[in-house]
Structure 1
Amino acid sequence: MLLELQTISRRRAISLTPLIDVVFILLLFFMLSSSFVQTRQINLPVASAATGEPEQITQIELQDNQGIIRIDGQRYPSQQTAQLQALINQAPASAFVLSAKADVSTQALIELLDRLHQAGAEKVSLSGVLMP
């Protein structure tokens, strides 16, 4: 008498090498497509209605990308925080109107806004571009 034995089929093992390749490709894609630049926010308050008392306005002109500013006809480097703070302390309640020459970069303008804020200027406004 012959017995019919069923042949046991072996399960084939799934290779993990292609799966690891796909995971590394996805990891590379997400690392290269994301940005690691930190963004900061600068608060620029919107003009409000007049309170009846006229404010003193100080005009600040940004001359070039190196941060040279002109206040009342005198030139100052904006990198010297102590000197900038002394200018702001002369008129702490003053509104500072900032204008820039046409060839000044946006980065230089933002850096000057940040320095004015660090030096204690509370009221800062942006004006138009100065023509050469």
Structure 2
Amino acid sequence: MKFRRKPRENVEINLASLIDVVFILLLFFVVTTTFTRETQLRVDLPEAASGTPPEQTELKQLEILIAADGSYALNGQALLKSDLETLMAALSKESDGDNSLPLIISADGQTPHQAVVTAMDAAGKLGFAHLRMTTVEAQAKP
């Protein structure tokens, strides 16, 4: 007795729908991913034995951050060049010509003295009168 065998069907997995699902997942992850960029400089403030804490104001404040290498950032936005003209242009643009705004200079403890003097010079040339230097309170030595 001779039995006829049924021809075997080729089993295939349809990958078109799988590719569609993977593509949609990829798009979802690309769209929902947030790319954070640190724009603030890391500043270790110098210590001072005396001082008064700043009073809280509702006014807009300008803050110049000076890193240990002498690079500047104004209100968290790093400046491309570390020279007087760039700093003055950024200050005048950010303040919109209002030199009555309080200006805070936060310099790293290892910042070259010239970088701080340049920031103070830029503030003086633009007419800022409310100038504050930030420090941290000195720790008591054991």
When normalised by structure 1's length, the TM-score is 0.46
Q: Which has the higher strand share?
A: 1
Bigger Rg, structure 1 or 2 = 1
